[in-house]
Structure 1
Amino acid sequence: MKQLKRLFSIFLVLALTVSMFVGCGKKSTGDWKIGIITGTVAQNEEEYRAAQRTKEVFMERYGEDKVILQTYPEKFMDEQETVIANIAGIAADPKVKALVICQAVPGTSAAIDKVLETRDDLLIIAATSGEDPNMIADRADLCFQMDEVGMGTAIVEQIKKQGAETLVHYSFPRHMSYALLAARRDLLKENCKKEGIKFVDATAPDPTGDAGISGAQQFILEDVPKKIKQYGEDTAFFSTNCSMQPPLIKSILQQHGIYPQPCCPSPYHGFPSALQIEIPEDKKGDANYVVEQIRRINAENNMTGRMSTWPVPVNMMFIEAGAEYASQWIEGKWGDKIDNEKLKECFVDYTSNYGDDIDINVTLLEENGKKFDNYFLVLIDYIDL
């Protein structure tokens, strides 16, 4: 009996010791991962950096690697099979429980179809889609998009405040085949007419075409001075393409034009490279620092108030807040894949990093009388630079 009591005591001590070590460690969250698919650094650096930051944040939080990063090719229109293979390749890992795709370039729907052949358990988030809303919304669980149509009014209101007499809209046939981008262009044209602002529909080279990104950027650098000479300094410029933003900002600064916003509104989108803003290590992720530097450079060039953007990097928000939403869903914080209130909480939590008084408007897409229950549109007010 004494020996049995001694064995029981030893077992109790061992059990308590093990429980102490388990309690002191990081909370076990299950063996899961999230796949994040973005463009390359050349196509849109901030999206790629947002994915990297998410990976680092989750590593620190969970004590293990929870994020798999993947990119789609720069010439994704010519390499649809690679787009499909890259997305499907991540989903083939059984540990992956969610995908966050930003931007959801053409080919994403076909990739999701491929994924769904073997995986119907994934949470799939598609942000900033280049495909028809009906197509992508039928496949992805949640879709995030800037309120492109809402911008058709907001941009004109902004350039009117900035004193614009002309708006030059740079795009190309591929982008104008996107329903929301085309609807925004039409609304910009309509609102410019109402406000007495001349609207110029300018065609630029497609960066995914033969000229590539460098050819499209060179076109912008050469064309902006021509447009300023033709229409005057009170000419505002807007381009639908990410890679065109740095040369557009650079040329507008030199020619003293007007720049209401990047295509993907953000202090990071195009400004740092165009204005050669060096961001110290301790200021990484500090949007307020970037805004201060943009304002300083604009003031030095007599450009104060002639540039603006959203205070929150919206595509970065789609990636980071989307991954946060996915991680909470994976961990069973709620059951349904679509939870409007939880999603808004994730968006609001993200915007709080950029200020307490930022008003973010989240609505559901309604198109041709159809209201989507999983297609979320975001609109944020401007800050002047």
Structure 2
Amino acid sequence: MKKGISYLIVIAVLAGLGYFLLAEKPAPAPVDKKTEVVAEKKEAPAEKKEAPEEKKEPAKEEKPAPKGKVAIVTNTVSQNEEEYRSAQEMQAKYGDRIVHVTWPDNFMAEQEQMVSVVAKLAHDPDIKGLVINQAVPGTNAAVDKLLETRDDVFIVYATPQENPPDVAARAQLILMPDELKMGDTIPVQSQKMGAKVFVHYSFPRHMSQPLLSSRRDLMKKKCEELGIEFVDATAPDPTGDSGVPGAQQFILEDVPKMVAKYGKDTAFFSTNCSMQVPLIKAVVDAGAIYPQPCCPSPYHGFPAALGIESDSSKPGDLQHVIDETRRILKEKGMEGRLSTWPVPAAMTITVASTEYALKLMDGEIEPGKLDIKKLEELMADYAKVPVSTSPYVDEAGKSYDNFLFFLIDFLTY
């Protein structure tokens, strides 16, 4: 009995002592924060944290490959080298997206061949743009054949030679130098260079075109205002029986006769491209005045007439041609007697309209209404000078918003 009581007392004492010891256990010493940070850093690698789930960026939409081609129809080299070279320039830049074909050399006698040239293009469904430089007589009939099967082609006419209302009904864009305004600017430029007489060479086919005949009439009127004698001279049509050689030979023979009759202060102008080389040669030899080619450009006639080597595909070639033309004319005592535009009008049209058509296909230009601001930007990019346009307004006051004229100031050598 006594032993049992003794055991109970011992157990109670031990239990109380254990409680006391647990209650009196000191709190853990504070850990220095720096030490804690270091410890955490050391322990960090040991922690196996799950790698954050990679955020998958949405796949970038790949732009579809450019679709559509532009077909460029130009005259042959003998009719207009600038038009031909400008198409080659676009072909070199865009490769298979450009299709280049030419009108027959004697297009007036080969109208069926013209229709065939354009009709073949309709069979290529990728052709969505058609640039025609120049839109010579017969172009409307050729385009009508295309329109029989295609209504999805953006059509551009450069320097059209058929009635404006008919042209505007077929093409979405028509571009040409401001022929009417030149009726004022060319006589004024001639007077600045000392002209007392102005000779205008053309032929019935060109004079049957309203724009060219109206410009001739404006030139005559402006010459009268300026006190300049106006001479209306008829030359052979290069598409006629004597062809281009016959027309060129006529110019070489007739200019000296005119200078002998009217004197050296006579300005000469011709409405035809193939006449420019012989006209420049004859003017320089006779010491006369040449205000501008029919298609204003440093390339148009000058290199061939003056023996300047030129390659329009090479960078800086335009300035080279300008510098050489100026040097040669100065050596010949012809300084201030010849002038032109500082950039090729024909090439500006081909390049700007082709670029416009491609951007339209690629969705960079809204379809429907013509974006004239963008067109002027594209022309200025090529010309390196500001270019402005104005719509053609007929005698009745009707404005054609898709028929645009442009004008650039003169470069006098």
Structure-2-length-normalised TM-score: 0.83
Q: 1:134 to 1:222 in 2, by over 3 A?
A: same
- Does the aligned pair in 2 maintain the 1:329–1:337 contact within 8 Å? no
**Where does structure 2 lack aligned partners over 5 or more consecutive residues?**
1-56
Aligned to 2:255: 224
3-state DSSP of counterpart to 1:244: helix
Match of 1:176 in 2: 207
The reply on whether 1:296 has 2:327 as its aligned counterpart is yes
Task: Indicate whether 1:47 and 2:83 are aligned.
Answer: yes
Which of the residues 366, 370, 392 maps onto 1:365? 392
Alpha-carbon separation, structure 2, partners of 1:120 and 1:280:
38
8 Å CA contact retained: 1:246, 1:271: yes
For residue 73 of structure 2, the aligned residue among 37, 43, 51 is 37
Deviation at 1:30, TM superposition (A): 3.3
Code of the aligned partner of 2:327: R
2:159 aligned with 1:123, yes or no?
no
1:138-171 Cα deviation digits (max 9, x unpaired) = 1111101110000000001100100000000000
Opposite residue 49 of structure 1, the aligned amino acid is: R
- Report percent identity of matched pairs: 52
State the one-letter code of the partner of 1:216.
A
* SS of equivalent to 2:80: helix
Change in Cα spacing, 1:228 to 1:375, as seen in structure 2 (3 Å) is same
CA contact (8 A) 1:344 1:362 kept: yes
Q: Secondary structure at the match of 1:265?
A: coil
Aligned equivalents of 1:280 and 1:78: distance in 2?
Answer: 32
Contact 2:157 2:175 in 1 (8 A): yes
The TM-score, its normalising length taken from structure 1, stands at 0.89
Query: What's the counterpart of residue 410 of structure 2?
Result: 382
Maintained 8 Å contact 1:141/1:337: no
Aligned runs of 1:96-135 on 2, under 5 Å?
96-135=127-166
Report what 1:10 is aligned to. Answer: none
Q: Do residues 350 (structure 1) and 382 (structure 2) align?
A: yes
**1:339 and 2:366 aligned:** no
Aligned residue number for residue 238 of structure 1: 269
Paired residue type of 2:262: Y
After TM superposition, the structure 1 stretch with the greater mean CA deviation from structure 2, 307-316 or 276-285, is 276-285
Q: Deviations over 1:190-237 (max 9, x none)?
A: 000111100000000000000100000000000000000000000000
| Residue of structure 2 equivalent to 1:4 | none
Number of aligned residue pairs: give it.
354
Q: Which amino acid aligns with 2:348?
A: M
What does the per-residue CA deviation read over 1:95-143, in whole Å, with 9 as the maximum and x for residues that have no partner? 1010000000111111111111110011000010111111111111110
The one-letter code matched in structure 2 to 1:117 is E
| One of 84, 88, 95 as aligned partner of 2:115 | 84
* Change beyond 3 A, Cα 1:348–1:160: same
Which residue does the alignment assign to 1:167?
198
RMSD: 1.7
Q: In the alignment, is the contact (CA less than 8 A) between 2:376 and 2:388 conserved in 1? A: no
8 Å contact 2:89–2:313 — kept in the other structure? no
The residue aligned with 1:257 is 288
The answer to whether the Cα contact below 8 Å between 1:125 and 1:140 also exists between their aligned partners in 2 is yes
